[in-house]
Structure 1
């Protein structure tokens, strides 16, 4: 039996046992069970809430600010969800990881972007969000003289999911509209306040305590690559190659290109834990392997089975990328001898897509895919070489670009744009290796440790800062970046950021205001990150103007206030029509947003 089946059996057993105990009258009246969900009600704690609610003037002013923010966000959420729903119905997107239904759930391990490795921090942030949300409702109940029927905790079997406050219905109905509106808005107000505090800590003293350790952080080694065979793995930092210091991926590439030795010494820092982390030197026997492919590449190669090794080019044995380029020379075609056979292909930087209205598109270059073989007469055999050539050309200059497509070569005059990452020349294309093959004589994948620190407002080094540009230079920009970091692979083109998990501790150095915490600063950073992230999500979601969310309740009191000023004999039916229409629209929009891509785009 697999794990999921055991979980289902356990839930059924729990539900049956709870139903049996309830029917027998063996459960106390304070415990209510609905399937696997349990609520425990209590009247205790009301004195504490009464005491917290004592400065009524402060809490009313606080909630008035929240009401204004909630109304603005309500209107924004209404138009956003409606527009997204219409867009999906008109032009259904293809199903992808980001629009899968399970990825709308804030459940680590179920949501593909919320890993189990940070489940404790995510659950903590969720509990904080639920407690402050319901606590806000409870405090404003007492401020507005609304009685509290009960309070308690909400459980999934025996696992706490949150807290709740249950107002007395008659007392709530007797309260004035302004008081009820403030009470409904108090929860999201507190969620936004927690978000601000958590982000302020993260962007301030916490991230200032996290620096980037020297060397290139290794996210992993390709299967069958020379690096994997040499014992280099995830968590290592490469600090030197063939005696040349390495500080980042660019310096590693330069060190490898500057050496034509087949056997090289690599200095590493790594280990399973901080206790056994040490500097060591390994020997890597370089060989040219195919680490990735694009469908339909000219060599018609695809990964699977044994690693693909490039053994010779035009009859010359090759072991390195430098040797590959030298063997190709100025030839536009090359005969590759591989472990899968021999094939003749055009050699150059492979373009997989062209940006609309970009420099290449404006020059009339045909649609991708195609191969770029030369720029201003300079031969290029890979996307790396093309990038190096463009880095030396100023934006705005017009260059000749030689392209191979459909069996012939054509040359186009292209006026370069500015590369947003490093300020060099920019073609406006997406590239993939050499002729659709990702060739490597080493085979490691870098981890963007400095980029993450830079995007969160810290000092990640000049190379890392170039990716963020001006995005995170303002508080709102920093918040936006933090919200998309768990989806970074889709938005920023870097791996998704789960937080500072234990397997990346070696990539960072601790100092600054919280340096005394040691590795505990990483836990603090994760707690701040996920608490802010989840509280902002909770606040935004609850502002959707649909019942039973807070936004739907605020919509009702707002509609009552407006309709009461209209010359209408029976205002209640009109209020009900408004709230029901908006609520149904929001429900349908949410359903389309969650399930539309899967159902309509499949």
Structure 2
């Protein structure tokens, strides 16, 4: 992609032009009253909102009670936020590949630039941002008036025309030294409630949006059929014209309604299969064993097709596996994407790296060396599923025989199974070795991930369940874990909880769902409503979490500063405000330092 084609560059150029024009208008005093510009940032300020805040802040005793409850919750979240930032920094240093930050755009809340925020969802995202800011700053204003703290003005920050922030300016904050002001010393609890009000209100707002989303989801359901989330390049499905957004309704004359029925239909189908589609003509797919991904150790490239094994023609993965059942070495007949023929000598089995100090290492295999498991406990092993079946009835401490290729030679190892019975399916990418054998297994057969069809189903049922609070497969279960799964939906494809991230009912993903029931008359409007509620809930949680970070001038940093000053006054410290300021500065620098490390490690390594 050229520089001119980069969305980030286009956005930056647009902001540059907007900033120059806005600055010229501001300096020539041509902007309306209450509007000022600093480069591409616009500030809209007004005093008219103060009367509304006074009205909403009644009765004040009730707001003070709610503010105290919110303060207790947010104070705990500030501690959790600090711990979370530190743990994220440690994780980024220990395992840079696990970070979802893949580019500078990953940290910008700009649809189309951030890979997790699609441009198609921009209107709903902007609505969510604006709603979150209004709720956040409105709560600050209401608790200010409930605590008898004057409000000088209210306003909104815009990055060009995009809402980027909002503010309520209480008296005493404009100088930035509120911890040392006489006004705050007389209203410590009121100021603390004020700081905590924003994050607390966002959490309440997120809960309201989530409950409203549940109501809307009652009329939204996964489509009948198998939605296509992606099609592998150079695969049989791609050659037949199948594409993302298609909904498969039949295969080989059999109706398919979910992934299981699709796999069952493929298992009983021949090499040539007719595929029916919803709202589109049926197509014919000529099945062929195709490499769609490889490990770093493999010499093959994705897109290569395997036509035969030792001269025996194969058109399905099942036939390929059957041909390898008794082979320790096999000659593959290949066809490159351009049609050119080729061959490949394969040692078929489960490839992986030996975990240092694991059972296989202790049995004599070279630590960190690559091996290809052929037989385990007398069972033929071609992939991780075979390994799981071979060890299904085995217990830690048992001795088994393992046949494996190591540096091209077939060796036999007698090893004692380790672990505590945990038979997860780890991988090199997850950083986890098999706890039984002590190996970091590669996906597929000998590091080759294969398909004979080429479609990646879109997990509409999974996303629909996660939106309703059911969690994600593979994630820990529990109320907190389910809530965390909801937050991970846009990143689900990156963190490995799902094949794709969920960015709302937008683009081709919308084809995977249908609207029925009371919202059926709205048609696509129901999807727009669901998107607005989803992003409003998601963004408000993010806004609350971000503001709980104990870094100045975020709410968490202000809360820590005010709390330390109050503690110093009670303990009789000399100049408690100055000590509070140094604590706030130290925490801010620490948090910024960790965030810089996370960004640097993620982007550079």
TM-score, length-scaled by structure 2:
0.83
What's the CA shift string for 1:564-593, capped at 9, x where partnerless?
112334333333333322233223233223
User: CA distance change for structure 1 residues 451 and 223 in 2, over 3 Å: closer, same or farther?
Assistant: same
Contact 1:177/1:557 (<8 A) preserved: yes
Counterpart in 2 of 1:273?
Answer: none
Q: Is 1:178 matched with 2:177?
A: no
CA distance in 1, matches of 2:136, 2:127: 14
Q: Distance in 2 between matches of 1:152 and 1:519?
A: 34
**Structure 2 portions without partners, runs of 5+:** 336-340, 426-434
Q: What residue in structure 1 maps to residue 223 of structure 2?
A: 213
Which shifted more, 551-560 or 249-258?
249-258
> Aligned pair in 2 of structure 1 residues 370, 456: CA closer, same or farther (>3 Å)?
farther
Q: Please, which moves more after superposition, 288-297 or 511-520? A: 511-520
The correspondence for 1:334, drawn from 296, 321, 330, is 330
* CA offsets 1:97-131 (integer angstroms, 9 cap, x no match): 42644423322222222222322222211111111
Partner deviation per Cα, 1:314-337 (whole Å, 9 max, x = no partner): 122332323323433422211111
- Counterparts in 2 of 1:101 and 1:341: CA distance versus 1, 3 Å: same
The residue aligned with 1:478 is 482
Identify which range, 523-532 or 554-563, moves more after superposition: 523-532
The whole-number CA distance in structure 2 between the counterparts of 1:99 and 1:343 is 34
Shift of 1:178: 1.3
In the other structure, the counterpart of 2:464 is 453
Corresponding position: 1:243 with 2:243: no
1:362-420 alpha-carbon deviations (Å, 9 max, x no partner):
98876564333345544444556666x569x4575967554333221425565894656
91-100 or 449-458, which moves further after superposition?
91-100
The structure-2 alpha-carbon separation of the partners of 1:518 and 1:369, relative to structure 1 and needing over 3 Å to count, comes to farther
Superposition RMSD on alpha carbons, in Å?
A: 3.5
Q: Would you say the 8 A contact 1:419–1:426 is kept in 2?
A: yes
Residue 568 and residue 106 in structure 1: after superposition, are their counterparts in 2 closer, same or farther (change >3 A)?
A: same
Q: Deviations over 1:223-251 (max 9, x none)?
A: 22222222222122333332344344344
SS state of the match for residue 138, structure 1?
helix
* Match of residue 554 from structure 2: 549
2:116 paired residue number: 113
Say which SS state the counterpart of residue 443 (structure 2) adopts. strand
Partner residue of 2:576 out of 571, 574, 586: 571
CA shift digits 1:27-85 (9 cap, x unpaired): 34422111111112212232222111121111111111111112111222233334554
Distance in 2 (CA, whole Å) between partners of 1:545 and 1:268 is 53
Verify: 1:438 aligned to 2:435, yes or no. no
Partner in structure 1 of residue 284 of structure 2:
283
Question: Residues 301, 455 of structure 1: CA spacing in aligned structure 2 closer, same or farther, 3 A cutoff?
Answer: same
- Residue 302 of structure 1 is matched in structure 2 by 301
Task: Mark the CA change 1:256 to 1:49 in structure 2 (over 3 Å): closer, same or farther.
Answer: same
Corresponding position of 2:237: 227
Give the superposition deviation at 1:468: 4.6
Gaps of 5+ in 1: 270-276, 460-464
Secondary structure at the residue paired with 2:167? strand
Match of 1:592 in 2: 597
TM-score by length of 1: 0.84
User: Which residue of 154, 167, 172 maps to 2:157?
Assistant: 154
Change (3 A) 1:267 1:198: same
